[in-house]
Amino acid sequence: MASLAVVTGGNRGIGRAVCARLAADGYKVLLVARDPERGRRAAAELPGDVEPVTGDLTTVASVRRLAGELRSRCPRLDVLVHNAGLWPNRRVLTGDGVEESFAVNHLAPFLLNHLLEDRLGRVVQVSAGLYVKGRAEPGRTAVGADFSAVRTYADTKLCNLLTVPLFAERWREAGITIDAVHPGVIRTGLGDRRGPLGWLLKAVKRTWATPEEGAASVAALAAGTGSGRFFDQAREVPLQGPARDRELAARIWDEAEALTAAR
């Protein structure tokens, strides 16, 4: 039987290319998209064994619904790729009262890891090199305090990355592995906006790498066997700055636990 891979944000950008790549590598792929029609279309367009699953990562309730759906469909998730991500243009609070990119980039993978851990084999966390510009401030990052598009995105990616070594430790005995990867600077819709800045960004993006190039390092890690590592594309590199702060990591973990368990 083919190994099963689940990819969030699989309907476009890097996630879609990861789905294509994993399907070509022989995986059965569940492509998670928040919009059912966009998910269906993407899955139908991709060659190989790719099925759509509807899942929104915005709130704790919607993440729980997705986890329930995955649990009912998959006795085992050989590979879970947390790819969905959001670069926010303005501060938006979710129904849970947290900043939207914090919810999607950090809380959703945190909660899915917990809700699915009894059937996980391997987790690939799509991270971002910009985490080095982030600050993770319990109580403030969660609500998008001092919002700025670049800073808030970097903050949420740092929060998420801080949890990766902790999941690696938590899962060591169970044999579940997790690695994080910066896919490169890739020409996708991430952070697209209207107005003059939007046009400028579009022009700059023409020089960036393709989603297929971004997907290569992510998909390659699906077959990885190490855990708790960070990759800059294909190269393993040490974590830098606050991402090495164990005490901060523990506080971010506790906060995520409180924000997800309480709902």
- Catalytic positions are 153
Provide, rounded to whole angstroms, the least separation between the CB of residue 247 and ligand NAP. 26
The answer to whether 42 touches 31, Cβ cutoff 8 Å, is yes
Question: Between residues 106 and 122, which has the closer beta carbon with respect to ligand NAP?
Answer: 106
Q: Which of residues 119-148 bind ligand NAP (CB under 6 A)?
A: 126, 128
Q: At what angle do helices 211-221 and 13-24 cross, to 10 degrees?
A: 50
Secondary structure element (H or E) that encloses residue 27, with its range: none
14 binds ligand NAP (CB under 6 A): yes
Question: Between residues 174 and 237, which has the closer beta carbon with respect to ligand NAP?
Answer: 237
How many angstroms separate the CA atoms of 44 and 50, rounded?
8
Size of the site for ligand NAP (CB under 6 A): 26
How many angstroms separate the CA atoms of 146 and 157, rounded?
16
Question: Between residues 217 and 227, which has the closer beta carbon with respect to ligand NAP?
Answer: 217
Q: Looking at 53, 186, 216, 259, which residue binds ligand NAP (CB under 6 A)?
A: 186
Provide, rounded to whole angstroms, the least separation between the CB of residue 130 and ligand NAP. 7
Tell me the sheet residues that pair with 31. 7, 52
As a whole number of Å, the CA-based R_g of the chain is 17
Q: Which of 159, 173, 179, 181 is nearest to 250 (CA)?
A: 159
Contacts with ligand NAP, 48-87, as mask; x by CB under 6 A: --------xxx------------------------xxxx-
Q: Which of 5, 47, 15, 29 is nearest to 189 (CA)?
A: 15
Checking DSSP bridges between strand 28-33 and strand 50-54, what pairing results, if any? parallel
The answer to whether 101 touches 88, Cβ cutoff 8 Å, is yes
Question: Between residues 74 and 86, which has the closer beta carbon with respect to ligand NAP?
Answer: 86
Q: Which of 219, 249, 179, 154 is nearest to 17 (CA)?
A: 219
HSE-CB of 17 using CA atoms within 13 angstroms: 17
Provide, rounded to whole angstroms, the least separation between the CB of residue 128 and ligand NAP. 4
DSSP string for 108-160: HHHHHHHHHGGGEEEEEEE--GGGGG----TTTGGGTTT--HHHHHHHHHHHH
Provide, rounded to whole angstroms, the least separation between the CB of residue 211 and ligand NAP. 6
183 binds ligand NAP (CB under 6 A): yes
11 binds ligand NAP (CB under 6 A): yes
Provide, rounded to whole angstroms, the least separation between the CB of residue 32 and ligand NAP. 7
Question: Between residues 1 and 103, which has the closer beta carbon with respect to ligand NAP?
Answer: 103
Contacts with ligand NAP, 206-225, as mask; x by CB under 6 A: --------------------
| Residues of this chain that bind ligand NAP (CB under 6 A) | 9, 11-15, 34-35, 38, 56-58, 83-86, 104, 126, 128, 182-183, 185-186, 188-190
